[in-house]
Amino acid sequence: MNYPSKLIENAVNEIARLPGIGKKSALRLALHLLKQEKEEIHSLTDALIALREQICYCARCHNISDAEYCMICSSNRRDQSVICVVTDTRDVMAIENTAQYNGLYHVLGGVISPIEGIGPSELHIESLIRRVYGAPEDQPVKEVILALSPTMEGDTTAFYIQKKLRDSGVKISTIARGIPVGGDLEYADEVTLGRSIVGRLAYE
Amino acid sequence: MNYPSKLIENAVNEIARLPGIGKKSALRLALHLLKQEKEEIHSLTDALIALREQICYCARCHNISDAEYCMICSSNRRDQSVICVVTDTRDVMAIENTAQYNGLYHVLGGVISPIEGIGPSELHIESLIRRVYGAPEDQPVKEVILALSPTMEGDTTAFYIQKKLRDSGVKISTIARGIPVGGDLEYADEVTLGRSIVGRLAYE
């Protein structure tokens, strides 16, 4: 594409490097920004720079945080004996939105993926092991819930963590796989349907 | 949604103000930016600030430009007697990409829209009239092509310009409406199909 100005070409190229935004959308966004007040552009760019330069991660669960320990880790209303292991912050937010979980989290920062060159040492797995084995005696970890995506990488990561925690005596569980609420049996794939039968729940 | 950090909440709110980007996409983009090098964030924000603060508009056709006159207006290979009137820069780029047009442009900067409070005086219509009536005698404007969207606002704008240019003796035309190339007659709407019959072309 031929751009009428170097400035717009630069901006489009930069915006198009964001995931899920192509050159056409980037041009639309750049032309939108051109029409905005200068202050609005600065409030956007300031927010992005502050985000990147001032962000903290919780020293315990590695979630994004405003202080040394995140709000969840430093809350005394949360059950300190359960740790839910997730891939990233979005998963924490998604689970928090359900209001069904009251334990702590551990954010891995990704999953094991040999193709992308991500091994266990690139993730926060070592600190999870330490959290479990090194828990104080009056506040032991009783359960580790693995809430990873049901992909090959997620399963590999879950298997790796399971092996590492095998000797800890801590209960290890994974979130249930099955038919989504409101989903139709007819349209469920075979693997999901199969898992929903294997993992069936008895009426109490 | 509860964000784990004020910084991320701020960034998400700022990003979500861009058109077509909701809170979920904004969060995805913010988390992506968090993983990038600081230099990359700065090259993005610098490009956006430079775009907004240093951009120039062509003094003649109001297209985005790096100099006082844009590349098209200052080219001596373009036919100076034809002016194509478009809504914004994207239309110029789209028509340039077809390589079917060799005249000049006039970028209105929008269309007349009473609902959004945009009247003729908010657009570059006055300068178009001046370009047509005030053209030097040895280089007169012979044709004005109205390439506006076939919406109510676009049609109103076209009608307004037509009325203003009526006494100039300049030929006024509009781009053809009809069945898109590769389009199926069956799926064309009635108005488009009707226009394609009214505007039919004889084989030469």
User: For the segment A70-104, what is each residue's pLDDT rounded down to a tens digit?
Assistant: 999 999 999 999 999 999 999 999 999 888 999 99
Whether the Cβ atoms of residue A143 and residue A85 lie closer than 8 Å to each other: no
Note the pLDDT of residue B143.
Answer: 94
Q: Is residue A140 part of a domain?
A: yes
**Which pLDDT tens digit goes with each residue over B152-170?**
999 999 999 999 999 998 9
Taking contacts as CB-CB distances below 8 angstroms, the residues of chain B near A43 are: 14
Binary contact (A65, B1; C-beta < 8 A): no
Q: How far apart are CA B109 and CA B95, in angstroms?
A: 16
CATH (domain of A11): 1.10.8.420
Per the prediction, chain A carries an average pLDDT of 91
Nearest residue, CB atoms, B2 vs list A17, A27, A96: A96
Let me know how long chain A is: 204
Confidence of residue B140 (pLDDT cuts 50, 70, 90): very high
Q: Is residue B39 part of a domain?
A: yes
pTM: 0.78
Confidence of residue B171 (pLDDT cuts 50, 70, 90): very high
User: Are A165 and A84 contained in the same domain?
Assistant: yes
Nearest to B123 by CA among B84, B165, B86: B86
Q: How far apart are CA B149 and CA B83, in angstroms?
A: 17
Mean of pLDDT values over B21-49: 93
Q: How far apart are CA A47 and CA A41, in angstroms?
A: 10
The residue in chain A having the minimum alpha-carbon distance to the alpha carbon of residue B68 is A5
User: Are A82 and A50 contained in the same domain?
Assistant: no
Binary contact (B97, A2; C-beta < 8 A): yes
User: Are B84 and B41 contained in the same domain?
Assistant: no
Residue A165 parent element (H or E): helix A152-165
Confidence of residue A140 (pLDDT cuts 50, 70, 90): very high
**Which pLDDT tens digit goes with each residue over A35-61?**
899 999 999 999 999 999 999 999 999
Binary contact (A89, B31; C-beta < 8 A): yes
The residue in chain A having the minimum alpha-carbon distance to the alpha carbon of residue B62 is A4
Confidence of residue A64 (pLDDT cuts 50, 70, 90): very high
- Domain residue limits at A50: 6-54
Q: Is residue A103 part of a domain?
A: yes
Binary contact (B49, A42; C-beta < 8 A): yes
Taking contacts as CB-CB distances below 8 angstroms, the residues of chain B near A33 are: 18, 48, 51-52
Handedness of CA A80, A81, A83, A84 (dihedral sign): negative
User: Are A46 and A10 contained in the same domain?
Assistant: yes
Nearest residue, CB atoms, A31 vs list B40, B89, B97: B89
Per the prediction, chain B carries an average pLDDT of 91
Q: Is residue B149 part of a domain?
A: yes
The residue to which tokens 């828990």 are assigned: A135
Q: Is residue B87 part of a domain?
A: yes
CATH (domain of B148): 3.40.1360.10
Domain boundary among A54, A69, A88: A54
Interface predicted TM-score (ipTM) of this complex, two decimals: 0.81
User: Are A21 and A102 contained in the same domain?
Assistant: no
**pLDDT higher than threshold 90 for residue A191:** no
User: Are B112 and B154 contained in the same domain?
Assistant: yes
Q: Is residue B188 part of a domain?
A: no
User: Are A82 and A170 contained in the same domain?
Assistant: yes
User: Are B85 and B165 contained in the same domain?
Assistant: yes
Q: Is residue B202 part of a domain?
A: no
Nearest to B103 by CA among B60, B68, B67, B64: B60
Q: How far apart are CA B185 and CA A71, in angstroms?
A: 60
Binary contact (A93, B2; C-beta < 8 A): yes
Taking contacts as CB-CB distances below 8 angstroms, the residues of chain A near B8 are: 51, 55, 64, 89
- What distance in Å separates residue B204's CA from the closest CA in chain A? 34
Binary contact (B29, A43; C-beta < 8 A): no
**Structure-block tokens of residue B11:** 């960034």
Taking contacts as CB-CB distances below 8 angstroms, the residues of chain A near B55 are: 5, 7-8, 34
User: Are B129 and B166 contained in the same domain?
Assistant: yes
Whether the Cβ atoms of residue B104 and residue B147 lie closer than 8 Å to each other: no
Binary contact (A64, B8; C-beta < 8 A): yes
Helices H / strands E in chain A, number of each: 7, 6
What do you get for the CA distance between the two ends of chain B, in Å?
Answer: 64
Query: Rg of the Cα trace of chain B?
Result: 22
Confidence of residue A126 (pLDDT cuts 50, 70, 90): very high
Taking contacts as CB-CB distances below 8 angstroms, the residues of chain A near B91 are: none
Nearest to A2 by CA among B70, B50, B48: B70
List all residues 6 or more positions away from B198 whose beta carbon is below 8 Å from its beta carbon.
none
User: Are A46 and A102 contained in the same domain?
Assistant: no
Q: Is residue A145 part of a domain?
A: yes
Q: How many domains does chain A have?
A: 2
Binary contact (A20, B25; C-beta < 8 A): yes
Q: Concatenated DSSP letters for chain B? A: ---S-HHHHHHHHHHTTSTT--HHHHHHHHHHHHTS-HHHHHHHHHHHHHHHHH-EE-TTT--EESSSS-TTTT-TTS-TTEEEEESSHHHHHHHHHHT---SEEEE-SS--BGGGTB-GGGTTTHHHHHHHHT--TTS---EEEE---SSHHHHHHHHHHHHHHGGG--EEEEPPPSPPTT--GGGS-HHHHHHHHHT-----
Phi/psi of residue A159, each to 5°? -65, -40
User: Are B43 and B89 contained in the same domain?
Assistant: no
User: Are A147 and A98 contained in the same domain?
Assistant: yes
Note the pLDDT of residue B150.
Answer: 87
With both helix axes pointing from N to C terminus, report the angle between A152-165 and A126-133 in degrees, rounded to the nearest 10: 30
